[in-house]
């Protein structure tokens, strides 16, 4: 009986080991969409807010690039993480304990992103199907709103991945310039970015608009003590979009609040990634 | 047994009735989304020569309230973008110009954002309108300057040196126009505290108040005030008027009101002093008017015609004593015509800081030259100059003598 008790106690502690609650620090992995200093400055108010709400130290981690972030997230280097919707589904595929908490809301676009395909205003291309055999420009193979959702649009229009030649131009303005210069007949950009193009939106016509995909998610990135996970969720979801408190904490991070989310919200993202052969 | 059944039926009917009353069987009617709105009012309809007006109102609980205030009177604002573009690594040399910038503009943000304003103050002259708007969540509230029609010109390093605006570029999108209006606001108003104030006090129930402070140099006329939560939720546009009376005079191209007594008395003193030194007095008047807060572009333009008066009388008197060499004068005058074309445009392209720097350098060089010319060594070397001065004094004396004799 005594041996059984000792065994149970040992098993209990072993079971508790992976939980982050044993640690006094939470690592918050941020996808480096801006320079490191800007990311740290932007997210420090949120880290401080979480420290106050959770009673543990929250350390911001900004890796050098997207690949490093993905590797570290998959390796369980972060307790909580903030990333684009595509990399969330990529990490989720490998890290089953990853659990989305919320989706960020941005002042201009809210909680959803849309992709679009632009062509020159006088282009003979009238439908997405007309892009078969043509060259199109996109920003980056990992871009959710400026490559992946458009590949799903192509698939829905009956085209296969190899039916178009994709060139990657890094930035939305370069994509637009490639279309204007005839280097590509169409460009993949985020729908809300069309108005922001330096050359102006008047040179282009939209071939279509994608189904919505969720904005950037914040998620628990590895197995965690349920009590701590619950506290994190509560703290994050207190930051409702547009509230004064949310803006005070999140405005420097170019966000104005969070809305609850589940993996169902990312079904479209998974579908888009599959269409692009990137899942 | 029957009674039991009867009781059961009655109880069932009662329960059913209560549930029906409670709406259990009713189709779920979603409550209409609460219409979020904001109301606001001002405590007085007008001001005289500036002052404070209080805005009070009610917003939904927990929401931020921003108050945008702008004058109906518009003014010119310009900026040369010559900073290296992070994406291209090149200097764009694009000149932005609008004649529709409000002469007065204030964006009041909730007092909880005073830290965000402090952060920007710490940056000194590098403070940024866009960063401030982003960090206070006020980007959507920034509307009046964003609606100003901004023209942009592609200039070059050389063109900007000679003061050319360059080639007019195609109109910007609404988004780009708003983005470019931000640095123009900074170029026009310069100081963060002139535009932004964290003075909106918001209570937990959503009621709010904020003082709108109009300085005495604010333009006269109508002012518009809108309290906003975001781009969609805003109060009706409120209006008040600012009256001014003489000696307050509104300078349309400077976008501000000044008390004319002060510059009048100053100019009288400066010109007396300037004429003694054989100058028009513009070099002294210029920095003083800039210190009074007038835009350097307007000061440079305004001082030119004032100097005309002292120059005119000077030319007349030098002609009488035949000290003017028209060959040299006309040749130099032609060069001045060219400078007169280039100078004003160049003034428009440079910032106040650059203007002050150049002005200071020129004054230091002139001061050094004049000081050097008073040293005994210089005077010894330039006896000829002294002879000319003596000759000038002799002729002036003769002219005065003749005039007196003629008068007799």
Q: Specify the pLDDT at position B296.
A: 79
Sequence-distant (6+) residues with CB within 8 A of A247 are A256, A257, B64, B136, B137
Q: Specify the pLDDT at position B32.
A: 40
Whether A139 has a pLDDT exceeding 70, the answer reads: yes
pLDDT tens for B344-400 read: 777 777 777 787 888 888 888 888 887 887 888 877 777 776 777 777 778 878 877
Are the Cβ atoms of B134 and A171 closer than 8 angstroms?
no
Find the residue in A nearest to B88 (Cα). Answer: A174
pLDDT tens for A197-220 read: 888 888 999 999 999 999 999 999
Dihedral sign from CA coordinates of A245, A249, A254, A258? negative
Where is average pLDDT lowest: A7-21, B198-212, B309-323? A7-21
Q: Which among A200, A242, A244 has CB closest to B110? A: A244
Task: Report the alpha-carbon distance of residue B336 to residue A118 in Å, rounded.
Answer: 54
pLDDT tens for A66-101 read: 999 999 999 999 999 999 999 999 999 999 999 999
Are the Cβ atoms of B173 and A107 closer than 8 angstroms?
no
Task: Report the alpha-carbon distance of residue B185 to residue B192 in Å, rounded.
Answer: 10
A13 in Cβ contact with A19 (< 8 Å): no
B134 in Cβ contact with A251 (< 8 Å): yes
pTM for the model stands at: 0.76
Task: Report the alpha-carbon distance of residue A262 to residue A219 in Å, rounded.
Answer: 10
Task: Report the alpha-carbon distance of residue B400 to residue A243 in Å, rounded.
Answer: 82
Q: Specify the pLDDT at position B406.
A: 66
Best to test chain B binding among A107, A245, A246, A253 (most B CBs inside 10 Å): A107
Where is average pLDDT lowest: A77-86, B100-109, B216-225, B333-342? B333-342
Are the Cβ atoms of A242 and B230 closer than 8 angstroms?
yes
Are the Cβ atoms of A244 and B112 closer than 8 angstroms?
yes
Whether A21 has a pLDDT exceeding 60, the answer reads: no
The per-residue pLDDT of chain A, averaged, comes to 91
Query: What is the percent of chain A with per-residue pLDDT over 70, rounded to a whole number?
Result: 92
Whether B149 has a pLDDT exceeding 90, the answer reads: yes
Q: Specify the pLDDT at position B278.
A: 56
Q: Specify the pLDDT at position B23.
A: 45
- Cis amide leading into B247 (omega within 30): yes
Q: Which among B87, B116, B175 has CB closest to A195? A: B175
Find the residue in B nearest to A249 (Cα). Answer: B135
Q: Specify the pLDDT at position B33.
A: 42
Whether A115 has a pLDDT exceeding 50, the answer reads: yes
Q: Which among A196, A245, A251 has CB closest to B134? A: A251
What Rg, from alpha-carbon coordinates, does chain B have? 33
Task: Report the alpha-carbon distance of residue B278 to residue B280 in Å, rounded.
Answer: 7
Q: Which among A171, A242, A248 has CB closest to B87? A: A171
Whether A17 has a pLDDT exceeding 50, the answer reads: no
Tell whether B135 lies on the interface with A, counting CB pairs under 8 A.
yes
Q: Specify the pLDDT at position B30.
A: 40
Tell whether A239 lies on the interface with B, counting CB pairs under 8 A.
no
Six token digits for residue B123? 């940056």
Are the Cβ atoms of B175 and A254 closer than 8 angstroms?
no
Where is average pLDDT lowest: A105-114, A179-188, A227-236? A105-114
Q: Specify the pLDDT at position A260.
A: 97
Task: Report the alpha-carbon distance of residue B67 to residue A42 in Å, rounded.
Answer: 25
pLDDT tens for B253-269 read: 888 898 888 778 877 77
pLDDT tens for B259-307 read: 888 778 877 777 777 655 656 677 777 888 887 777 777 887 887 777 7
Q: Which among B63, B116, B170 has CB closest to A242? A: B63
Q: Specify the pLDDT at position B332.
A: 80
Average pLDDT over residues A51-56: 96
Q: Specify the pLDDT at position B276.
A: 58
Sequence-distant (6+) residues with CB within 8 A of B16 are none
Residue B107: pLDDT band with limits 50, 70, 90: very high
Cβ pairs bridging A and B (under 8 Å): 50
Q: Specify the pLDDT at position B91.
A: 84
Task: Report the alpha-carbon distance of residue A47 to residue A35 in Å, rounded.
Answer: 18
Please tell me the distance in Å from A104's CA to the nearest CA on chain B. Answer: 15
Tell whether A122 lies on the interface with B, counting CB pairs under 8 A.
no
Task: Report the alpha-carbon distance of residue B250 to residue B398 in Å, rounded.
Answer: 48
Where is average pLDDT lowest: A1-15, A222-236, B246-260, B336-350? A1-15
Query: What is the percent of chain B with per-residue pLDDT over 70, rounded to a whole number?
Result: 89
Are the Cβ atoms of A200 and B170 closer than 8 angstroms?
yes
pLDDT tens for B26-50 read: 443 344 444 689 999 999 999 999 9
CB burial of B166-180 (b: ≥16 within 10 Å; e: otherwise) equals: beeeeebbebbbbbb
């Amino acid at each position: 009986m005594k041996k059984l008790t000792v065994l149970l106690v040992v098993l209990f502690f072993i079971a508790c080991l992976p939980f982050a609650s044993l640690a006094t620090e939470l690592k918050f992995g941020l996808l480096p969409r801006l320079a490191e200093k800007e990311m740290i400055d932007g997210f420090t108010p949120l880290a401080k807010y979480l420290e106050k709400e959770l009673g543990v130290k929250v350390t911001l981690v900004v890796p050098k690039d997207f690949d490093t972030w993905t590797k570290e997230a998959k390796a369980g280097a972060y307790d909580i993480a903030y990333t684009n919707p595509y990399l969330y589904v990529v990490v989720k595929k490998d890290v089953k304990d990853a659990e989305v908490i919320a989706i960020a809301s941005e002042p201009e676009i809210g909680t959803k992103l849309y992709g679009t395909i632009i062509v020159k205003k006088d282009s003979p291309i009238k439908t997405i199907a007309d892009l078969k055999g043509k060259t199109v420009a996109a920003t980056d193979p990992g871009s959710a709103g400026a490559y992946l959702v458009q590949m799903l649009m192509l698939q829905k229009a009956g085209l296969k991945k190899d039916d178009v030649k994709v060139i990657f131009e890094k930035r939305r303005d370069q994509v637009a310039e490639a279309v204007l210069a005839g280097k590509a007949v169409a460009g993949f950009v985020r729908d809300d970015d069309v108005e922001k193009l330096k050359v102006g939106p008047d040179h282009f016509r939209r071939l279509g608009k994608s189904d919505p995909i969720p904005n950037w998610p914040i998620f628990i990135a590895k197995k965690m003590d349920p009590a701590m996970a619950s506290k994190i969720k509560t703290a994050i979801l207190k930051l409702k979009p547009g509230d004064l408190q949310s803006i005070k904490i999140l405005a420097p991070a170019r966000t104005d609040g969070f809305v609850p989310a589940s993996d169902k919200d990312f079904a479209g993202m998974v579908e888009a990634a599959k269409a692009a052969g990137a899942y | 047994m029957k009674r039991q059944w009867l009781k059961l039926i009655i109880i069932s009917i009662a329960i059913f009735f209560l549930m029906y009353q409670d709406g259990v069987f009713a189709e779920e009617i979603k409550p209409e989304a609460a219409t979020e709105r904001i109301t606001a009012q001002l405590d007085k309809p007008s001001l005289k020569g500036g002052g404070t007006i209080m805005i009070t109102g009610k917003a939904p609980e927990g929401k931020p309230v921003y108050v945008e205030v702008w004058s109906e009177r518009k003014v010119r604002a310009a900026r040369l973008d010559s900073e290296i573009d992070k994406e291209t690594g090149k200097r764009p040399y694009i000149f932005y110009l609008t004649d529709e910038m409000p002469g007065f503009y204030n964006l009041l943000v909730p007092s909880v954002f005073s830290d965000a304003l402090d952060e920007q103050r710490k940056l000194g002259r590098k403070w940024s309108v866009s960063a401030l708007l982003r960090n206070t969540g006020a980007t959507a509230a920034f509307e009046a300057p964003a609606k100003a029609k901004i023209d942009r010109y592609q200039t070059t390093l050389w063109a900007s040196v000679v003061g050319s605006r360059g080639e007019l570029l195609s109109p910007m999108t609404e988004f780009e126009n708003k983005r470019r209006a931000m640095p123009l606001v900074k170029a026009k108003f310069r100081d963060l505290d002139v535009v932004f104030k964290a003075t909106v006090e918001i209570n937990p129930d959503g009621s709010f108040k904020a003082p709108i402070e109009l300085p005495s140099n604010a333009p006269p006329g109508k002012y518009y005030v809108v309290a906003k939560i975001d781009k969609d939720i805003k109060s009706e546009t409120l209006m008040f008027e600012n009256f001014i009376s003489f000696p307050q005079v509104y300078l349309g191209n400077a976008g501000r009101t000044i008390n004319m007594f002060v510059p009048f008395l100053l100019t009288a003193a400066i010109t007396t002093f300037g004429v003694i030194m054989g100058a028009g007095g513009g070099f002294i008047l210029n920095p003083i008017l800039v210190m009074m807060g007038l835009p350097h572009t307007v000061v440079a333009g305004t001082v030119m015609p004032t100097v005309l008066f002292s120059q005119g009388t000077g030319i007349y008197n030098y002609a009488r004593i035949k000290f003017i060499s028209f060959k040299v004068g006309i040749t130099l005058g032609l060069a001045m015509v060219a400078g007169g074309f280039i100078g004003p445009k160049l003034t428009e392209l440079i910032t106040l800081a650059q203007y002050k720097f150049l002005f200071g350098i020129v004054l230091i060089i002139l001061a050094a030259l004049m000081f050097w010319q008073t040293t005994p060594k210089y005077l010894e070397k330039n006896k000829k100059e002294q002879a000319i001065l003596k000759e000038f004094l002799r002729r002036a004396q003769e002219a005065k003598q003749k005039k007196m004799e003629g008068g007799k």
